[in-house]
Structure 1
Amino acid sequence: MKILLLANFGMGLYNFRKELLEELIQQRNEVYISLPNDEYVPKLKSLGCFYLETELERRGTNPLKDSKLFFNYIKLIKRIKPDLVLTYTIKPNVYGGLACRVTNTPYITNITGLGTSLENKSMIQKITMLLYKIGLKKASCLFFQNDTNLKFFMTNQITNNKTRLVPGSGVNTYHHSFENYPEDDQKIRFLFIGRMMKAKGVDELFKAASIIKEKYPNTQFDLVGGYEEDYQQQLADLQNSGIITYHGQQENVHSFIRKSHATILPSHHEGTANVLLESASAGRPVLASRVPGCKETFNEGISGLGFEVKNVDSLVAAIEKFINMPYEQKQEMGIAGRKKMEKEYDRKIVINAYLDEINKIVRRGNYELI
């Protein structure tokens, strides 16, 4: 059986869907991946995937370039003749789904989050919803990563397809193994992992870190992630003033999680926040905005603390509350988070959901899952 995956970048495919790719390949399927060329492509190819380069602007809104992507997907599907297509993120979901409709190819779509284009009421939102309606119409199944996103699609009548709720991309609890809590509590290290962009709440984080550092000099704010927007000068200024320590893009985030006392994510919206899953799996409490995709990943006061989105005062209050907790309570929060990941967010749950839906398509189409 030939299976084609359409995605917008290699990092997400490798870090969060590697186990699914490995399982499909182990079952002797031919697995093709289509995405822009980046440093993760060699790693994906080393798994046994066949790579097909596709140019794609993740955040662009140029209709000519998007129509070109659509026609490229049609050509690709006609050339490969996949038995099934799996799509991830907005543009592959929309234009890949539409290409599958045109070529009469079965496809499964994963809604990895609403994204800014759907979160904010605007003309862009209306256009995006219309494109989704067209692109998702014939999908065999839609995977959603949180219940709020699912209800948004239903309420706005974007789709009436079969839907299935999965725990995000899940977390590899073996790779993100449990780590003993740091013994040194004299300097409390907070960790942010994510792209430097407004939607991840970095503006609120910068202000909160400045307030906390002045009041609690024995804190450290480690930031890990590449630039998505122009924050280079601001990061440099904050680092020079000793408010943050910026580590740039890092391949191994687990080593940073191990050294931290808690992970902070002030994101404005998420599908399901992978960094919170990975941190909790390693036994670290999480501090996160109370938005869909974040609030489900922790139990308030047990494995993490929530705060109001886009609210610096609320973020500062949550950080202060955590700082003033007894060491043993912080340690217990980490242990509770690990147990939650093992029970509710193990990546095997997501893989089994995919295999179940793929097998249903196989039975309907009389394909042979080799």
Structure 2
Amino acid sequence: MKILILTNYANGLYLFRKELVESFIKEGHQVVVSVPSDENCKKLEGLGVEIIETALDRHGMNPAKDIKLFNTYLSMIRKEKPQVVLTYTIKPNIYGAMAAKILKVPYISNITGLGTAIENGGMLSKILIKMYSSSLRRAQKVFFQNEKNMDFMQKHGIAKDNAGLLPGSGVNLTEHPFRDYPSEEDGIRLLAVVRVMRDKGIEEYLNAAKVVGGSNSNVHFELVGEFEEDERDKYEEQIKDLEKQGLLKYYGHLDTVEPVMAKSHVIVHPSYHEGLSNVLLEAAACGRPVLASNVHGCIETFEDGVSGMAFKSQDKEALIDAIKKMLALTKEQRSEMGKKGRKYIEDHFDRNIVINAYKEELGRL
């Protein structure tokens, strides 16, 4: 079987769906991936897939560019003649799914999150909902990563009869093993793993580093993640200033976050919205307590008060209060929260659950 995957970011596909792609290839399927060109495409090629470099503007709606993308998908599907098309992220889920529907090629879509445009409401939200309604109507399956997103779409008449719920992208429990809680002799390290952009809560995190780090010499803030280019100018100087003051350690982009996460004591995730947070899944798998926004896509990944703490999203003071509550616990209490988080992930978020769900859908073909 020839499988065509449409997505907007090579590294996201590699980090969170590598095992799924490998399972397809192991079973003898040919896998072709359409994705914007960047240095991460080589990782996918290393898995044995064919890459079709596809220009795609991840943010905003430019009618001329979006029509061009839709026509690109139409031409691509006609040329490649896949037996099934898998789509991830907003524009592939709309334009790629629509192209597959028109050409009567089976397609499976994955709603990894609703995105800011829909979350914020207004005219653009209404337009996107109508587009989703059209594009996903004939999908073999529409996978969602949290119940709130699924309920929202179904209330708008989308995927009422073809929806499925996945535990996010799941976690590879072998690649993300439990790590013993590290010594706190040199202080407590808080780590955020986010794209540097407003919607990931970077403003709240940098503020916490300044306020809490500035008044507690034994609390160290660390940050992993690449800049969202259209927001780089907002945050690059702030990050450099905090580094100069010794209040933040910024790693930039890392292909493998696990070694840094293993040396950390608490993972902080102040995101405004998520499909289902892979960072929080991996943090819990590692055995670390988490502090996360009380939004769907985050709260499903841990038990509040047991393996982590939730705080009000988009609220600088709420994040600072949550950090202080975590710091008020003993080392043993933080360590125990991490152990309980690992058990929760093992029971509910093994990545094999996701792989088996896709295998079942391919079996139906």
TM-score by length of 1: 0.96
Instruction: Name the residue aligned to 1:216.
Output: 216
Matches within 5 A, 1:1-370: 1-228=1-228, 229-230=231-232, 231-360=235-364, 362=365
Residues 185, 327 of structure 1: 8 Å contact kept: no
Deviation per residue, 1:70-113 (Å, 9 max, x gap): 00001000001001000000000000011001111000000000
Give the CA deviation at 1:185.
Answer: 4.4
Q: Partners of 2:216 and 2:358 in 1: how far apart?
A: 47
Q: Partners of 2:241 and 2:70 in 1: how far apart?
A: 42
Deviation per residue, 1:299-353 (Å, 9 max, x gap): 1111111101111221111101111101111111111111111110010000001
What is the aligned-residue RMSD (CA, Å)? Answer: 1.0
Q: Partners of 1:340 and 1:305 in 2: how far apart?
A: 15
Q: Partners of 2:159 and 2:178 in 1: how far apart?
A: 39
Q: Partners of 1:133 and 1:351 in 2: how far apart?
A: 26
Residue identity in the other structure for 2:77? I
Gaps of 5+ in 1: 363-370
Residue identity in the other structure for 2:85? V
Q: Partners of 1:217 and 1:351 in 2: how far apart?
A: 45
Give the CA deviation at 1:214.
Answer: 2.9
Q: Which stretch of the first structure deviates more once superposed, 136-145 or 154-163?
A: 154-163
Residues 142, 159 of structure 2: 8 Å contact kept: no
Q: Partners of 2:125 and 2:60 in 1: how far apart?
A: 14
Report the secondary structure of 1:306's partner residue.
strand
Give the CA deviation at 1:227.
Answer: 0.6
Residue identity in the other structure for 1:204? E
Q: Partners of 1:321 and 1:215 in 2: how far apart?
A: 15
Q: Partners of 2:49 and 2:161 in 1: how far apart?
A: 29
Percent sequence identity is: 46
Report the secondary structure of 2:252's partner residue.
coil
Change (3 A) 1:124 1:185: farther
Residues 263, 285 of structure 1: 8 Å contact kept: yes
Residue identity in the other structure for 1:250? L
